[in-house]
Copies of this chain bind each other. A is one copy, B any other.
Amino acid sequence: MVYSASASVDHFPGASHQAKLTLEIVFGSRVLEFCHAGHSVFWEGDVASDAFMIGEGLLRLYRILPDGRRAITGFAFPGDVLGLAFHDRYLYTAEAVTDVRLRRFPRRRLHALATDCPYLHHDILRVIAGELEAAQEQMVLLGQKSAEERVASFLLMNARRVGKGQAVPISFDLPMTRLDMADYLGLTIETVCRAVTKLKQAGLVSMEGRHKVFLHNPAELSRFAGLDDFELAHPPWPKPALPPVETDPIETGEPGRGGFHQ
């Protein structure tokens, strides 16, 4: 009952205090597993024993309401890491949209490693912060945006993943079905279709087959989406996460901003 790759994992404890462990390295030591399209990697409510790093393919992450409605809370793309910040159970089901390759690592052990390795600790926090940011963005989308804005936002969100420097038209694949998009955007299939059609008619978007998308005018599309300009949005600030650690400046006792008092 031992993983074929666990020999290399055993190297971690020795090197951990000084080594610059990253999630990439930690997961890289594990065997590649496969999950076929339509099958689940884990289910909502299961004991959350492992974290996962996606190698290839696409996962849909969803919860089911008592009466059967499905809410897709996110998608997991290659490079994404799942399951770092749960209590003891998975909060959603992770199901393969396409055939998926991934690696798993025991959560407890991962967090134990992080205790000894600031680099890894930092890396984990960075991933979790990204998840939280995505969730925030989605709450804004679902709570405030119209159907067309949601679809436009969704397209831009995917465009962003392929890199911003891209030449126009920006092109990418959307392997998920219209139903997946609908359940993610809080709309129906038909409404998603109509929104896409409108964007096509406006000359902002075109498609090749069902899954290949071209964005001909990202800037204009951003206005459609209720976002700031595409280039400026996400992130308006550089990404290097937390600045270098140093001691804090003196506590000034300044009232701070906006009505602080002691």
Instruction: Give the B-binding residues of A (Cβ under 8 A).
Output: 1-6, 31-36, 38-43, 45, 63, 65-67, 69-71, 73, 85-89, 91-92, 96, 104, 106-109, 111-112, 114-115, 118, 121-122, 125-126, 128-133, 135-136, 138-140, 142-144, 183-186, 226-228, 235-237, 239-243, 245-254, 256-262
A108 to B241, CA, bound (A): 11
A111 and B87 within 8 A (CB): no
B143 and A185 within 8 A (CB): yes
A248 and B1 within 8 A (CB): yes
A115 to B140, CA, bound (A): 33
For A130, the chain B residues whose CB sits under 8 A away are 87
Known: A143-B186, A242-B88. A262 touches B31 (CB 8 A): yes
A136 to B232, CA, bound (A): 27
A183 to B241, CA, bound (A): 30
B91 and A133 within 8 A (CB): yes
8 Å CB contact of A251 from B4, B73, B107: B4
A115 and B73 within 8 A (CB): no
Q: What's the nearest-Cβ distance from chain B to residue A229, in Å?
A: 10
For A252, the chain B residues whose CB sits under 8 A away are 1
Residue among A129, A241, A259 with max Cβ neighbours from chain B (10 Å): A259
A250 to B87, CA, bound (A): 22
A sample of 9 more A-B contacts (CB under 8 A), given A87-B126, A87-B235, A112-B245, is A42-B257, A65-B140, A65-B226, A87-B129, A88-B237, A92-B136, A96-B259, A104-B256, A142-B143
B140 and A138 within 8 A (CB): no
Known: A6-B251, A35-B259, A248-B3. A86 touches B129 (CB 8 A): yes
Closest B residue, CB atoms, query A117: B115
A240 to B249, CA, bound (A): 36
B136 and A132 within 8 A (CB): no
B139 and A260 within 8 A (CB): no
For A136, the chain B residues whose CB sits under 8 A away are 63, 73, 91-92, 135
